[in-house]
Amino acid sequence: MTLELVQPSYVAEDRFRLLIDSITDYAIYMLNLDGEIISWNAGARRFKGYDEQEILGQHFSRFYTDEDRAAGKPGLALACAAQQGRFESEGWRVRKDGSQFWCHVIIDPVRTPDGSVIGFAKVTRDLTQQRQAQEALRQSQEQFRLLVLGVTDYAIYMLDPDGIITNWNAGAERIKGYRPDEVIGRHFSMFFEEAARNAGEPQRSLATALAEGRFENRAWRVRKDGTRFFANIVIDAIRDDSGTLLGFAKITRDITESVETQRALDEAREALFQSQKMEALGQLTGGIAHDFNNLLMVILSSLEIVRRRLPPDPRITPLLNNAVQGAQRGASLTRRMLAFARRQQLVLEAVDLGVMVRGMADLLQSSLGSRIQIETRFPLFVRPVRADGNQLELAVLNLAVNARDAMPDGGVLVIEARECQLTEPREGVAAGNYVCLSLTDTGEGMDPLTLARATEPFFTTKGVGKGTGLGLSMVDGVAAQVGGKLVVRSARPGGTTAELWLPVDEGAPVTAPVASASSQVSTAKGLSVLLVDDDPLILVSAEAMLEDLGCRVHTAASGEQALALLEQGSDGFDLLITDHMMPHMSGPQLAARALTLCPGLQVLIVSGFGEVDSAATAFARLAKPFDQQSLARALAGLQLV
């Protein structure tokens, strides 16, 4: 016979009560049908603050807020539990000390075996910390959302995994011009240029972000109104904790202004560098050309005197003529270099362009050859311009030769002139009255890159040995020195037009006819001349030319020597011819002191530079290198007694 120990029911009930009473994380208590509290555990005491003797027999509605009691929520909760078998909700409850806590509430009806409700079991859990954490998270997310939506300098928006726009901030609306309802739900490729879309750039950017986690680029994008802007674009792939792709975050910044500013800064730096380079080249070129001018003057003057004094000889005379022509070509080159360096001495006069071009007709045709047809188109009358006639002829010849080289198979060169009045600056030409002298060819033309560098010194597209690259820069220099401008237009194909904008001479009389050679010689004959130059070679050659013109010449190698001769007064000098740039004492300084000794003395300043000090402008000037005819012309222009 087996004996079984049967545990009394009251023992099980006691253990269950002990279990409920020991739970501290949940408030577990019983209510009767009227909602009065009939049991109370340790968890209820912990976070509601009431002892058992204080709360038993009290209605559970005292845990509700005044607003919830006024709304009848306690009764509704019991009715719901009785009718539906369960009530569950979250809400604010009140502790004994009046503080509130957020809790999760479950109310279950307690029934008899026959199903009758005899009370309610209520379980409450304090979720205040979780609620605070959730609220902090919600506020953080809301603040972040407001921050993103409020940013106006950046377009910030989300894309789904397929590239469809899912949200849109204020910066995106400002930069791209679309309202949220116009873009949400559309593919972000709508912002790309058509060529970029056709090339698959939107898909490549998402693929890169997906593969590498990030895509960054700078490119042109299109606004709603069709205008373009340069953008800095960043696309980041967004994944959840498990690595699943949620979409893409896209940030776009309009950097058009900064890019343009940087471009302008770069252009300014390049212009400064170019200006400094031109200044350095000008200084170097001017110095070399000045020294070379002195040598050419010695060569030219010596050759002319030798040619004049030797009897004609078929074996010697052609060689002398060749030597003179070679020296003259060298002089032409130095004029180009000095014009580029802005140091060529100009003799400004009223120049009739029609007369000048007609006088150059034979020279132009022989220089261009029979395959180039020259057409001139001049109005019946065009006012004279203020320029240096010799330099202007050289400039026209340079432009014509450039046109010839652009037409290797022959063509037409049209030379025309028109008067223009500019009321405001145009193409770098200041406002004023001008005559535009243009040369238009039917040649190959220039591409934009070549055209941009056309007037740059030493730049040439001709083969080795076929050009110095100084032609257009010289023409530009000549035009700039007289207050004008060289404007070149070209297209490939289409030919080239070079326009020389020259200021109109506003009333100065046209230069008087040059005296004949015989009258020049007679004017100079018998003059007593003091010739001063620190270069002994120039002294010898210039002395020979003056003597050949019939002058009595005394020479001095410095200003001090010249003053000593003037103080001796051994020969009553009629004329002082002095170099401009000399060590210790310049030509104008010598002239000023010489006039104090000999008040009636005439002065002629000789220089290869165009830049002269204010004192030199009071004296007649002669540019180096000069030949005997130029020297005779200069002497004829002086008021010599």
Q: Which residue has the higher pLDDT, 269 or 57?
A: 57
Give yes or no for residue 504 having a pLDDT over 70. yes
Query: Quick check: is 277 in a domain?
Result: no
The answer on 494 and 368 residing in a single domain is: yes
Query: Quick check: is 489 in a domain?
Result: yes
- What is residue 290's predicted lDDT score, i.e. its pLDDT? 65
- What is residue 84's predicted lDDT score, i.e. its pLDDT? 92
Query: Quick check: is 279 in a domain?
Result: no
Instruction: Give the tokens for residue 578.
Output: 């002095």
- What is residue 298's predicted lDDT score, i.e. its pLDDT? 80
Paired with 621 in beta bridges are: 605
Q: Which residue has the higher pLDDT, 191 or 334?
A: 191
Q: CA-CA distance, 109 to 121, in Å (whole number)?
A: 6
Quick one: CA torsion of 305, 308, 313, 316, rounded to 10 degrees?
Answer: 20
The answer on 539 and 469 residing in a single domain is: no
Domain end (from 222, 254, 286): 254
Region 48-61: what's the mean pLDDT?
91
Region 82-91: what's the mean pLDDT?
91
Query: Quick check: is 512 in a domain?
Result: no
Give yes or no for residue 331 having a pLDDT over 80. no
- Across all residues in the chain, what is the average pLDDT? 81
CATH at residue 545 = 3.40.50.2300
The answer on 577 and 491 residing in a single domain is: no
Region 261-278: what's the mean pLDDT?
74
Query: Quick check: is 248 in a domain?
Result: yes
Give yes or no for residue 462 having a pLDDT over 60. no
Task: Show the domain range for 412.
Answer: 353-503
Residue 348 near residue 621 (C-beta atoms within 8 A): no
Give yes or no for residue 145 having a pLDDT over 70. no
The answer on 446 and 371 residing in a single domain is: yes
Kindly report the three-state secondary structure assignment for every residue of 325-375: HHHHHHHHHHHHHHHHCCCCCCCEEEECHHHHHHHCHHHHHHHHCCCEEEE
- What is residue 553's predicted lDDT score, i.e. its pLDDT? 92
CATH at residue 370 = 3.30.565.10
Q: CA-CA distance, 460 to 466, in Å (whole number)?
A: 9
The residues near 100 (Cβ < 8 Å, ≥ 6 apart) are: 65, 92, 93, 94
The answer on 179 and 238 residing in a single domain is: yes
Domain end (from 254, 274, 306): 254
Q: CA-CA distance, 626 to 623, in Å (whole number)?
A: 6
Give residue-wise pLDDT tens across range 463-480.
Answer: 444 444 455 777 877 788
- What is residue 1's predicted lDDT score, i.e. its pLDDT? 39
Residue 438 near residue 419 (C-beta atoms within 8 A): no
The answer on 540 and 630 residing in a single domain is: yes
The answer on 124 and 200 residing in a single domain is: no
CATH at residue 197 = 3.30.450.20
Region 80-99: what's the mean pLDDT?
92
The answer on 482 and 361 residing in a single domain is: yes
The answer on 158 and 43 residing in a single domain is: no
Residue 78 near residue 107 (C-beta atoms within 8 A): yes
The answer on 219 and 100 residing in a single domain is: no
Q: Which residue has the higher pLDDT, 325 or 31?
A: 31
Query: Quick check: is 246 in a domain?
Result: yes
Selection from 79, 83, 95, 65 nearest residue 31 by Cα: 79
Give residue-wise pLDDT tens across range 563-607.
Answer: 988 888 756 888 999 998 888 898 999 999 999 888 888 999 888
Q: CA-CA distance, 291 to 273, in Å (whole number)?
A: 27
Domain end (from 131, 159, 182): 131
Q: Which residue has the higher pLDDT, 265 or 215?
A: 215
Give residue-wise pLDDT tens across range 98-144.
Answer: 999 999 999 999 988 888 889 999 999 888 888 877 777 677 666 65
Residue 632: pLDDT band with limits 50, 70, 90: confident
Residue 514: pLDDT band with limits 50, 70, 90: very low
Query: Quick check: is 275 in a domain?
Result: no
- What is residue 285's predicted lDDT score, i.e. its pLDDT? 59
- Report the domain count for the chain: 4
Q: What is the DSSP-derived secondary structure letter of residue 27?
A: E
pTM above 0.75, yes or no: no
Residue 156: pLDDT band with limits 50, 70, 90: confident
- What is residue 287's predicted lDDT score, i.e. its pLDDT? 62
Query: Quick check: is 386 in a domain?
Result: yes
Give yes or no for residue 517 having a pLDDT over 50. no
* DSSP run (H or E) holding 580: none
The answer on 613 and 544 residing in a single domain is: yes
The answer on 491 and 362 residing in a single domain is: yes
Dihedral sign, Cα of residue 609, residue 615, residue 617, residue 619: negative
